[in-house]
Chain A
Amino acid sequence: MQPFNYHRPTELADVVKILANSEDPKLLAGGMTLLPTLKQRLAAPSDLIDLSRIPNLQGICEDKNEIIIGAMTCHADVAASDMVRAFCPALADLAGQIGDPAVRHRGTIGGSVANADPAADYPAAVLGLNATIETNQRRIKNDDFFTGLFETALEPGEIITALRFPRPKRAQYQKFRHPASGYAVVGVMVAQFDAKARMAITGAGPNAFRPHAFEEALTGSFTAKAIEGLTLDPDELLSDMHASAAYRAHVALVLAKRAIGLIS
């Protein structure tokens, strides 16, 4: 790890200032992804800005028909939150399946979403549950957020402050864990809202995505039978030493049916 300046501001405004005045700054949330890259000398930022002392980024609250989760809320807190569980059990379940206990107590929802790892779990919730990403500058719709492998619509210096999730009628998340890392080889979120059904798949593609044909079928009838015969095109999916694209396509279908089966 190379030397860097460490900052731990208590106001968001200070974060913005430090960002503007540093040569090559990086925001530090739980550090679960960032610190290993520093240790392996894959990144060498000039300044690390620790977000852990900024009160506005913490905590979970309900507002009308939305639940708002502060960017610095760790996965374990989301998993254990009665409010989240009452609002959308699938979201709490998803958070509880991330990595291992140590990772869940350090890793944050903001860090996870900002990082946009193709195998991360939260992106399936963000898309599948129709969330809004709130930053210090604007609100970004979920469909506009994930733009590619580890890429998002965040501008340089833009800070995620919270995630806003609308209340689904019902939802389910199913995950196929990576044997080593625990990340999602495939993760599928299905959700039924008043007007429409949504489905999102993470792990399988370069970033999480919504298979629209499946959503249409499920909007017509929210049953496993409705998606019978639908397939995913392996050409658009990832292939690696743990799972070929064809296998990922298959697993996604099985998980989708199981998720629907569990709630319909």
Chain B
Amino acid sequence: MGQYGIGQPVRRKEDVRLLTGKGRYTDDIHFDGQLWAAFFRSPHAHAKIKSIDSAAALSVAGVRHVFTGEDMRKGGMKPLVADINFTDRKGNKMYKPVRHILPSDRACYVGEPLVMVLADSAEAARAGAELIEIDFETLPNITSTAKAAEPDAYVLHPEHGSNIAVHWENSAPDEVDALIAQAPHKVKIHLVNNRLIVAPMEPRCAVATYDAKEDVITLYSPTQGVRPAQAGFAGLLGIDKKKLRVISLDVGGGFGIRSKRYPETAAVAWAAKHINQPVKWRGDRSETFVSDHHGRDQVNDAVMGLDKNGRVIALRLETIVNVGAYSGDNGPRLPIDGGGRIIPCGYDIEKFYFSVKPVYTNTVPTDTYRGAGRPEANYIMERLMDAAAEECGLTRDEIRRRNLIPLSKMPYRTQMNFVYDSGDFIGTMDKTLELADWKGFASRRKETEKRGKLRGIGLASFVEQAGGRPTEEMRVKFDENGKATVFSGTFSHGQGHETVYAQMVNDYLGVPFDQIDFVQGDTDTTPPGGVGTFGSRSSMMGGVAIKRSCGQIIMKGKKIAAHLLQADPAAVTFENGLFRVGVSSISIQDVARAASDPAKLPEGVTPGLDESNLFEREPDLNNFPNGCHICEVEVDPELGTIEIVKYTALDDCGVVLNPLIVHGQVYGGVAQGIGQALTEDAIYDAESGQLLAGSFMDYGMPRAHHLSMIEAHFTDDQPCKTNDLGVKGAGEAGACGAPPAFVSAVCDALTPYGVKHIDMPLTPERVWTAIQQAKAHKAA
């Protein structure tokens, strides 16, 4: 409907501001008399702190205060304890180590903040932090995911006696094991899902002020939703959440990790109140590497039994997830009831055993990162299906066709108790095969081979899970001039909500697109039931709440219009921004103007046209975006280098509200997926426990030239049946599809050598080594 309505490729309203340098980020905030914070960070992976001496730091000109965690604890700071609770099958509870904000007894990873220095300038604060003297007694360390789970591993938290936080299982393994033992076909895989640096464009930043009269701290910081941040930090500070106002301005990327509680932010807020003076901390890029949460980091072992026809009989899966030194707000949850609960993804598998061991190690905590468990889950299933295709002598598409949940079985209850409402997984795959000209691949391969290179094609069929927390509140308010404003409970940190929500209000209420404002990111104005943006939830949660708010506005508007037009409210209709009765009509903006004047209102109607809606869905009624991605690569067999030459994505994200924006989400997701599969690797040194990939000079982000050929398509014939809009999430699908499609393509290219699998990232050296080993194996 209309040029700016739902479904139109409307250009992003916010882009002019953001692209012309008019964005306003936390770092743009300064207060008179503010002190700058810097943190002394642990140079050791694991060390006992015997003493802290701040005399030298305090002697630096401009340094005003030095605070340790001990000082903060005395001043009311609480430890950070994740709200995660799992038990093993015997009922033993998950172990959660106490994480102190700036620990004073022990450092558990390189980069852990230990002491805060406050000074008149950022430079003086840093100079002071450099002079903090800590008497460390270094301790052994453990960083490896696989090794941490071994029985004789060095134990990071001795009071627990093991690095394994909990051994969670969905059931006893016996039945599955017996079925696999008897299966005619068996496949077995071992995968490493590499640890990633999330690297949002905006490094972390925090500014806090304190109003002593009202006893209110105001904290400015990039988040993904101010309400959870308010509750979370108020909890750490030991204050009532009414005493903490949180403001997030423009945010340069969240990807999951900006929604978490970090020690530095808590310390800044604490200090502002403690010294009653504004405090600012601007993290730099190096700090982003060693102190932002990392992503992924799993080791997966899976065995699958199939019958003679290539139908899966049973699946056994064991996952170890490295959660870092402490449990983050979500880390251990990711493979279990976080995103990873989607497993076994799009496949109709009746018998399934699933075990997860979150392990503590001397590394930065891992937490949600674009996909948050779903990319890992889909990667496992897709690598298994490729292995099964080979084992059963079927093509890679045929093995999937035989095992994907058919349309006829929808709605489908999964092993982990989700109900898929819609999705034509097989149809989508078949359409993608066509779009990517799967059949014509052989001739493209021949052409490549003429140039001395190898060509491979790979596909991935994936299912996602979107929704996150089950409530969200949005408010639509008209002012006395007839302008509408959306007060958003979700939080756009790059997704384009300013545009899409305006399209919706334009569509539902007929208000001109440029007369719709957008307000988010301030606990003083964000609806009380606001939650935020993560888990691809904003349109399905916030969008529904907007639609319902608009519905409420129309209901009230009808009463007012009827009064103004001297008609019966039941006779009033609303369409294209006009309330009509017979030949008379009045625009919604005129109704809004009238609504601000109590004299013009019918009896019993409160002034204003201002409606909020707290939308609450059934907790398990997430939605399930899905799709198929096909990747084609050329490999230089001499050097092991890989070039992506074709990439076709077909995504089912239900009803598309703005194709331009959803395309952007697909591109971004694919870029992050390809980054993981091709170049990114957050490696720790096995001995020293130092982060080796500690800067962009070492950590390989994907580049534009790697990804210039993405072709993104949508299929919209399967709208979501469980929300008012028919939308499914769209933000994380790319990160699910790209890694398995890419790895499958490279292994396909290497068929002449018989290479079956290479762990991510597929660096040239790994590819070359795999070829060398396969050659040696053949020769032997």
Interface set of A (CB-CB < 8 Å, partner B): 1-2, 40-41, 176, 179-181, 183, 241-244, 247, 250-251, 254
Contacts and interface: CB of A to CB of B under 8 A. Distances in A.
Contact of B699 (A1, A180, A247, A250): A180
B776 to A, nearest CB: 13
A40 B123 CA distance: 11
A1 B127 CA distance: 9
Given A176-B639, A180-B699, 8 more contacts: A180-B693, A180-B700, A180-B701, A241-B683, A241-B693, A243-B764, A243-B765, A247-B768
Q: For chain B, what secondary structure do more than half of its interface residues adopt (helix, strand, loop), or is it mixed? A: loop
Nearest to B702: A179
Residue among A40, A181, A247, A254 with most chain B CB within 10 A: A247
B684 to A, nearest CB: 10
Given A176-B639, A180-B679, A250-B768, A241 B698 contact: yes
Nearest to A181: B697
Contacts of B78: none
A253 to B, nearest CB: 9
Interface string B666-709: 00000000000001010100000000110011111100000000
B127 to A, nearest CB: 7
Contact of B127 (A2, A251, A254): A2
B70 interface: no
Which 3 A-B residue pairings sit nearest by Cβ, starting from the closest? A179-B700, A180-B700, A181-B697
B763 interface: yes
B699 A40 contact: no
Nearest to A251: B639
Interface string B745-780: 000000000000000000111001100000000000
Contacts of A241: 681, 683, 692-693, 698
A41 B126 contact: yes
B698 A180 contact: yes
Contact of A254 (B286, B638, B693): B638
Contacts of B697: 180-181, 183
Interface in B126-141: 126-127, 130
A51 B130 CA distance: 31
Contacts of A41: 126, 130
Residue among A1, A180, A251 with most chain B CB within 10 A: A180
Residue among A1, A176, A181 with most chain B CB within 10 A: A181
Contact of B765 (A180, A181, A183, A244): A244
Residue among B127, B638, B681 with most chain A CB within 10 A: B638
B128 to A, nearest CB: 12
B126 A181 contact: no
Contacts of A251: 639
A181 B679 CA distance: 12
A181 B699 CA distance: 8
A180 B695 CA distance: 9
A179 B763 contact: yes
B176 to A, nearest CB: 38
Contacts of A176: 639, 764
Contacts of A242: 698, 763, 765
Given A176-B639, A247-B768, A1 B123 contact: yes
23 contacts: A2-B123, A40-B286, A41-B130, A176-B639, A179-B679, A179-B700, A180-B693, A180-B696, A180-B697, A180-B699, A180-B701, A181-B698, A241-B683, A241-B692, A241-B693, A242-B763, A242-B765, A243-B765, A244-B765, A247-B765, A251-B639, A254-B638, A254-B639
B775 to A, nearest CB: 13
A66 to B, nearest CB: 34
Nearest to B681: A241
A244 B764 CA distance: 11
Contacts of B638: 254
Contacts of A244: 765
Residue among A179, A183, A244, A254 with most chain B CB within 10 A: A179
A241 B765 CA distance: 10
A128 B393 CA distance: 53
Contacts of B764: 176, 243, 247
Contacts of A40: 286
Nearest to B678: A179
Nearest to A40: B286
A111 to B, nearest CB: 17
A247 B697 CA distance: 20
Contacts of B698: 180-181, 241-242
A4 B700 CA distance: 33
Contacts of A180: 679, 693, 696-701
Interface in B549-591: none
B122 to A, nearest CB: 10
A71 B768 CA distance: 39
A179 B693 CA distance: 12
A227 to B, nearest CB: 15
B158 to A, nearest CB: 31
Contacts of B692: 241
A144 B722 CA distance: 75
A142 B248 CA distance: 56
B36 to A, nearest CB: 14
A4 B739 CA distance: 48
Interface string B696-731: 111111000000000000000000000000000000
A1 B130 CA distance: 13
Contacts of A254: 638-639
Contacts of B683: 241
Contacts of B768: 247, 250
A1 to B, nearest CB: 7
Nearest to B127: A2
Nearest to B640: A247
B69 to A, nearest CB: 24
B270 to A, nearest CB: 26
A248 to B, nearest CB: 9
A2 B128 CA distance: 12
A226 to B, nearest CB: 18
A242 B698 CA distance: 8
Nearest to A254: B638
Nearest to B638: A254
A176 B640 CA distance: 11
A38 B693 CA distance: 20
A182 B764 CA distance: 15
Contacts of A2: 123, 127
Contacts of B681: 241
A241 B700 CA distance: 12
Nearest to B699: A180
Nearest to A183: B697
Contacts of B696: 180-181
Contacts of A243: 764-765
A248 B126 CA distance: 39
Nearest to A44: B127
A100 B640 CA distance: 23
Contacts of B639: 176, 251, 254
A121 to B, nearest CB: 15
A29 B701 CA distance: 28
A63 B501 CA distance: 67
A215 to B, nearest CB: 23
A45 to B, nearest CB: 16
A179 B769 CA distance: 18
B57 to A, nearest CB: 14
A119 B286 CA distance: 22
A2 B697 CA distance: 23
A183 B696 CA distance: 12
Contacts of A1: 123
B691 to A, nearest CB: 11
Contacts of B701: 180
A180 B126 CA distance: 27
A118 B360 CA distance: 37
A147 to B, nearest CB: 24
A181 B696 CA distance: 7
Contacts of B765: 242-244, 247
A41 B638 CA distance: 41
